[in-house]
């Protein structure tokens, strides 16, 4: 069954009969051989996306980079040789154009790292409608649309991996970031659901869950990060977590690892977690 896309074109649903090669590790590049393949990284013009691009380049991957800031994206590509496609993925049809560009330049996409994201801080009641829509569009809908374009090609190839950059805010909820938390929570559940759906296809899904990362994210959301603890981690640590997900086939990676603890408390004893969160923020 096919479904009409938002611009009226038809997109084929995921094939249900694809089987990975017997010697392949689900989500591994080049059909399970372990050789570096081709990766598409979004949000690559700064922060986590830039760090991921440099890490993958150092590992020998061929890259296609996407970001909204064309000048910064080209500077990143100079240090991590890559084809660049500057574009705002919230614009109608941008995900199809990016997918076509990537396939034309690298032949096939073995890895998608969806790192594009924006934030907004403040009380939900004071959030401008335009900011609400931007957060949901950039952090959730644009990523879903791009995944929807790329995954059928991975399934047809019998291998590939999608790495989604989530947030601890999507696992426990953060006051003053209600919409951002909601968008990242939706992304986390999407990762689980898609992983089940793609089982047996050779395509894997990973979720990388960072806490506070030292990037321009906080400046751009309009409110700097003021807590003394936990301290921000460098974006290179998140890039290392992405590489761990790719090279070790991990479904979920937290950065830093201790962030699993509050998430587990939240899952096992939500009332206790809420009391602790009220006391300790």
Residues 29-39: tens digit of each pLDDT: 544 444 679 99
Tell me: pLDDT of 209 over 90.
Answer: yes
Task: List, for residues 159-203, the tens digit of each pLDDT value.
Answer: 999 999 999 988 888 888 899 999 999 999 999 999 999 999 999
Question: How do beta strands 82-86 and 62-67 pair?
Answer: parallel
Distance CA 106, CA 39 (A): 9
Query: What is the four-CA torsion angle of 12, 149, 170, 197, rounded to 10 degrees?
Result: 40
Mean pLDDT of 264-271: 68
Burial of 38 (0-12, 13-18, 19+ CB in 10 A): buried
Higher-scoring residue by pLDDT: 66, 121: 66
- The continuous run of DSSP H or E covering 216 comes out as none
Which of 180, 196, 225, 273 is flagged as catalytic?
180
Q: Is 254 a catalytic residue?
A: no
């Amino acid at each position: 069954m096919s479904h009409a896309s938002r611009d009226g074109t038809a997109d084929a649903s995921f094939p249900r009969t694809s089987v990975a090669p017997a010697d392949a590790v689900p989500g591994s590049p080049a059909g399970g051989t372990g050789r570096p393949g081709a990766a598409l990284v979004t949000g690559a013009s700064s922060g986590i996306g830039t760090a991921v691009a440099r890490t993958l380049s150092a590992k020998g991957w061929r890259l296609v980079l996407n970001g909204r800031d064309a000048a910064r994206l080209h500077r990143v590509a100079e240090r991590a040789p890559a084809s660049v496609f500057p574009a705002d993925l919230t614009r109608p049809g941008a995900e199809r154009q990016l997918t076509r560009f990537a396939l034309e330049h690298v032949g096939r996409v073995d890895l998608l790292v969806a790192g594009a994201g924006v934030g907004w801080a403040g009380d939900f009641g004071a959030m401008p409608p335009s900011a609400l829509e931007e957060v949901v569009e950039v952090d959730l809908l644009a990523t879903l649309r791009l995944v929807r374009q790329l995954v059928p090609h991975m399934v047809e190839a019998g291998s590939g991996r999608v790495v989604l950059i989530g947030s601890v805010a999507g696992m426990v909820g953060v006051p003053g970031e209600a919409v951002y938390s909601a968008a990242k929570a939706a992304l986390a559940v999407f990762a689980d659901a898609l992983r089940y759906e793609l089982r047996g296809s050779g395509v894997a899904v990973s979720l990388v869950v960072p806490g506070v990362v030292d990037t321009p994210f906080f400046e751009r959301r309009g409110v700097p990060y003021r807590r003394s603890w936990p301290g921000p981690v460098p974006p290179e640590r998140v890039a290392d977590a992405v590489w761990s997900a790719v090279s070790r086939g991990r479904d979920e990676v937290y950065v830093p690892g201790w962030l699993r603890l509050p998430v587990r408390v939240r899952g096992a004893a939500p009332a206790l977690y809420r009391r602790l969160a009220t006391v300790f923020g």
